[in-house]
Structure 1
């Protein structure tokens, strides 16, 4: 009596025209649409019988299985996404490490190149300094040689004239003698004739002091007596001046 039979015109359910699934009411159709994204529904006269307890249990178990499968699939997707993200992270880390290594290698090469250039510049500077020193040395030698050549040429030009007309030596007629006395006494200074004999000097000194004495040259140190008394001051090379020392 209360059950609507197939063939009657009174709508008893809804049918999804996309997958031909019978749905009990509009709420079921709405849930189906949200789950499957199907949009074509129509009224159906097919009666959906109430589920028995066994059917409910089977459907519930199937639903749980589907949920478990979905969770497993979602977990697998998340796992794959994590693996992919880890690969990306590792790849990024590896790329960063390689980039850092390349940068360090580049900086090292730049430092080596700069050090090499600095060393080369230093060697060039030293070579330039050495070359300049050698050039200055050669220039000094050249100038010195030029001066020698000029002097030699001048001597060659003036040599014959000089030899043919030698300069006459100056003749001194007087000499100034300093006669140093011992015991810190003041020296005796007197002018003699260049032709005076040494004996005249002895006589002059005897007039200035008492006791026996002898006269001696300073360099070389030599006592003047004996034959020297008859020699002139010029012969004794005490002209134009000389120094004698009084000694006992």
Structure 2
């Protein structure tokens, strides 16, 4: 046992693991101990006071068991007695499935657990101890097995790390793509909104321009009529005056077209910052008053009044029940609010 321990220690194994392996295999030799170390590599070393040949909680078993234990093991393994002549004694146990021979039933039991073989018989062959050359060969085999196992483990860890990195990169790319798609959608949405605003502003400017032209013609006709009255001349024909309503209705038709929303800028007659809001074109003028009252505590819905500077127009409280569309305030307008 001391030689086996020294041999394992010389290979660089931890002393605690060597003690565990020797005790767990019940000091059955170098090979079982090496197999135990390989099989339990990476596992924590248990409390050695509870470790035996059958595991951490099994009862200990001596190599030189008594006849009752030997008979029990033979019965468990199904060992057939050897037919000997001349009083020759059985010196080993042989596995009839693979041909390996073992020094005692404990080693045979270890082989049965490891290989699954269950056919054994007693043999007269004597197991010779390992020579120094054989021990060196065993050590070389063990080192090769350990190197292969470590290389395989390192390869598996590298594959796992590579797979994890691929998943991380894919997740990052997916997230970047989602963010980029959102940015594109937002940019398209903003561009579409700017386009609609531009169209609405152009229509509003056209409506204002038409109203200006109509007002200009109306003033010219009025001036011509006043001049004719002063000079005693006949009144001019009302062609231009007939054009005025058509121009006004045209501009009103443009301004009152089916705009779903109306943008309003509300200024106080007393001065101060303007207030802007967007309401449905079907909203009532009273809702504008309610909006302004929500912005300024000094404004009362029942007493506030609204007017337009251009085209000049004043709205009475009777207009509070009319929609912004009917009042010609679409798609945008500037209102002047006054309070008593």
TM-score, normalised to structure 2, is 0.34
Q: Flag the structure with more relative contact order, 1 or 2, with Cα contacts below 8 A and sequence separation at least 6.
A: 1
CA radius of gyration, larger in = 1
TM-score, normalised to structure 1, is 0.44
